Amino acid sequence: MSHAHLPFHNLAQVFAKLEKTSSILAMIDILAGFFRSASADDARIAAYLIRGGIAPDYEGLELGLAGKLALRAVALAYDLPNQELERRLRRTGDLGSVVAEIAPRRTHAMLTLKGVFAELHALALLSGTGSQEKKLDALAALLKHATAEEAKYLVRIVLGALRLGVAEMTFLNALALATTGSREDKKTLEHGFNVLADIGEVAYRAVKNGVESLADAEPTPGVPVRMMLAERVAELEEVPEHIPGPVFVEYKYDGERLQTHIREHGNIVIFSRRHEKITHQFPDVIAALKKAFGGKTAIVEGEVV
């Protein structure tokens, strides 16, 4: 199959299989099967969509369709009254399942993975006066060309309700299996993900250049690094098993954990632990860092209390 026109239906079938299992090993096999035949570009797109997004978290790009707006788009696409859709929705509780019931039973898949992603990306970027109506029209246009199965998952994606249960490490295990035939290289992919904080970029590089291309991935000022989180232990006596040697303990004050990126010409951006941009909240921190670092580039992590 030509990579240039991978049908969106292929990914929708992956979604359907994932939805039917709670087994992590089964999920890994399903995902690995898809990525073995995916191009690097398709792998990047699929990585975002499988995790229910359209971009890395730090970009903060969201589709922004509320339930009522999505319902109106479905009504427009299939020429049905809102009241009928609301009745069906009360019965199922899931607009995606409703769409799967009412969509025409097309046998020919017309949508491509790249085409769907481009439309979703454009939809997310719409803003300003009339943007909600434009989003409604854009979703309706996609649904009109979708099979019932494709439409089901398109609606869930735009509502942020995909919920396939694919954890990040499950995804990386599958990517390692697909690209190397073994899950042993998952740690290399995990390193790349920790540094790049972009599951799509990790998938792209692994498929295009091999897993080892991520072994020397380095932080870039302006792109957040995934923050290391603490691990809990049941008893204090367990600490030496994880941290050998002397241990110093101090009081933990409640505060905001910051990851500050100082770029060329003193351009500073601050990320939260969840990679939200919160630069505007800390003008005093910015002033202090500009004074301390001058025109140098740096990534500084700390906590304000």
> Which residues, at least 6 apart from 259, have a Cβ–Cβ distance to it below 8 Å?
224, 225, 227, 270, 271, 272, 273, 299, 300, 301
Of residues 20, 68, 152, 252, which has the active-site annotation?
A: 252
For residue 224, the tally of other CB atoms under 10 A from its CB is: 27
252 annotated active-site: yes
Catalytic residues: 252
